[in-house]
Amino acid sequence: MDSLLIAADNALRTLFASPRATEASPAKGLPEGALTPAQKKLSGALMRVNHVGEVCAQALYSGQAAVTRDPALKEHLRDAAREETDHLAWTQERLDALGARPSLLNPLWFAGAFVLGAAAAKVSDRASLGFVVETENQVAKHLQGHLERLPEQDLASRAVVARMKRDEERHAAQALASGALALPPPVHALMRAAAKVMTTTAHHI
């Protein structure tokens, strides 16, 4: 029951409260670039996708922590979720600065990621960690793509995305070192397909 209450509290905070970072944004002190309307729209769309990714990260870790019976893993997952809260706050700050809005489908993304995280943890803790590795690797790949697409003048967004990419790669490495199970190819393909649907939709909605 405690795990479910914590998960519910995290869902409400993620979806309806203003996230508070424990660390200053990498964009702090950087000037807002002189972007054309088209460039500003692109930056806003990409940061909306990144914000959705952080909403899903909160849900994924929350779902896994609610199911696992390993106290050490539960605490590790909650620590990771707290770090992802910084990312959530930073991407929200960038959306505000760019005059863009979060995805209207955030509750749907959160629910889907929570179910996937809980299902993975239900299989085994090693499968749960394997899911983290694959998710974080895919996110890091998406972030690299965004670094290649973000306008050069948008130094603030680029700084946030670069820092997030490093953090996601570290999370994947930590999960792998903790004994993550290698997921079968069909699961990899399914996760990539789901991510493609989410990122394409969130770019616009």
| Burial class of residue 204 in the structure, from the number of CB atoms within 10 Å of its CB (0-12 exposed, 13-18 middle, 19+ buried) | exposed
Q: How many CB atoms lie within 10 A of CB 144?
A: 14
What's the CA gap between 9 and 84, in Å, rounded? 16
More confident residue, 47 or 108: 47
Angle between helices 37-67 and 155-177 in degrees, nearest 10? 20
Q: What is the pLDDT of residues 29-74, one digit of tens each?
A: 898 888 999 999 999 999 999 999 888 888 888 888 888 878 877 7
Least Cα distance to 178 among 7, 54, 64 occurs for 64
pLDDT at 163: 94
With 60 as the cut, is the pLDDT of residue 2 above it?
no
Least Cα distance to 74 among 13, 134, 118 occurs for 118
Residue ranges and CATH numbers for the domains of the chain are 2-13+37-204 (1.20.1260.10)
pTM of the entire predicted model:
0.84
Q: How far apart are the first and last CA of the chain?
A: 34
